Structure 1
Amino acid sequence: MTSRSNRPKADQDPAEWLPPSADALCRYGADWTAAKLRWGLAVDELERDRLYDIAAGCGGTEVEFTPAP
C-alpha cells in the first residue's frame, strides 16, 4: 500500500474503508483481525459484520497471531 492509497483510510476500520484492490482484501481482513486478537482490542458490531463478510469470501485464508505480552 502506498502513502497515497493509505491517506483516504486514515483511522477508519473495515466497516468504513476497504482497500481498493480486491486482491488485497483477504490479506487486509486477516491482518486487521490478527491485530485485534493480538492486542485484545474491541470490535464494534459493524466492524465485526464487515470482517465476517470479508472472511466469507476468502476461502482458506488463515489468521495467525501471537498474543501480546
Structure 2
Amino acid sequence: MDYKIKSVEYADAGIPHYWIVDIEHPVSLVACHLTDEFGYQDAPAATGTFTTTDPFPVTLDLDQLL
C-alpha cells in the first residue's frame, strides 16, 4: 500500500517527501523523495540511526521508536 497506492496519490498531490517506517524488528525507515522524471525515488532502507538534511536536518534513533 505505502509503496504502490500512496506513492501515486502523494505524487499527484505534489508531496515532495515522505518516509515509510516499518516497526517490525529491526525498525527500518525508507525515505522517499519526488523527482520530476521518475516519480518517487526511494533511498535504501535505514536501520539503527537515520540521518538526513532533506527536507530538514534530523537524526532519529529508529530502535527507540518501539
Please give the TM-score of this superposition, normalised by the length of structure 2. 0.31
More helix by share: 1
Q: Which has the higher strand share?
A: 2
Question: What TM-score comes out, normalization by structure 1 length?
Answer: 0.31
Q: Which has the higher contact order (CA 8 A, sep 6+)?
A: 1
